Each structure stands twice: as structure tokens, then as C-alpha cells.
Amino acid sequence: MADEPDATPSREYAYTGSARIVSTYAVHDDDRFVCICGWEGSLAELETEVFEQVADGSCPKCDRMLVIREFPTLAYMRRWAARGNAEAARDLARAEQAREARR
Ligand SMILES: [Zn+2]
């Protein structure tokens, strides 16, 4: 995984020629995405499409793909949860419950 828990996350994602690939917990709700068409906004304002392993976010103005978010693995959730990330802790609890239920 590219984004380790102790890596300082970038707070502004300017478009640099291709969609930025990030892990789920590395992006914060108040991070800004800047498109070359001049559009600027938060993750929630992007057009989101969810796939099995990733979710992408595109500029709502020109449809350029700005970000690809990888869904976290269990090990990844554990690492972030151990660092006090509430979202990771919640996802981890859910994932472990689902595993228990399959037994
Ligand atoms: Zn755009």
C-alpha cells in the first residue's frame, strides 16, 4: 500500500496528469481536489463510482477522473485502527463481525 499511517497526507490534490491513487483512510473529508478545468472541491463533491476493489472520483464539471480510492485490506484496517483512526476501527469491527458470521 502506498499510504502508510504515519505518512503525512496531502491536504490538496492537484491534478498531475493522471488520477491519484490513494487508500481510503488517507483522504479526509475536508481535503480539496483541484481539476485542470478550474473546478475545485471536496471528496463529497466528486462524482463517485464504486467498484469491487476501488472507488473512483471524477470532476463533476468535466468528468476527468481525479482520484481512485483503494478499499482497505483487513491488515490495513488494523494498522490504521491501531493509530486511532475511527473510520478504520469501525470498518475493522464490521469486517471481523462478517468473518465471525461466516464460520
Ligand atoms: Zn474538471
pLDDT at 4: 52
The total domain count for the chain is 2
Centroid of ligand 1 to alpha carbon of 9 (angstroms): 22
Q: With contact defined as beta carbons under 8 Å apart, do 70 and 86 qualify?
A: no
Mean model confidence pLDDT for the chain: 85
**pLDDT band for position 9 (cuts 50, 70, 90):** low
- Neighbour-count burial of 26, counting CB atoms closer than 10 A to its CB (0-12 exposed, 13-18 middle, 19+ buried): buried
What global pTM score does this model have?
A: 0.67
Same domain, 29 and 16: yes
Is the pLDDT higher at 8 or at 12? Answer: 12
Asked whether residue 8 carries a pLDDT value surpassing 80, the answer given is no
Centroid of ligand 1 to alpha carbon of 68 (angstroms): 15
Same domain, 14 and 63: yes
Centroid of ligand 1 to alpha carbon of 60 (angstroms): 7
Centroid of ligand 1 to alpha carbon of 62 (angstroms): 4
pLDDT at 84: 93
Report the DSSP beta bridge partners of residue 58: 47, 65
Residue 39 lies in a domain: yes
Centroid of ligand 1 to alpha carbon of 22 (angstroms): 19
Asked whether residue 47 carries a pLDDT value surpassing 80, the answer given is yes
Same domain, 53 and 91: no
Q: Which domain holds residue 95?
A: 72-103
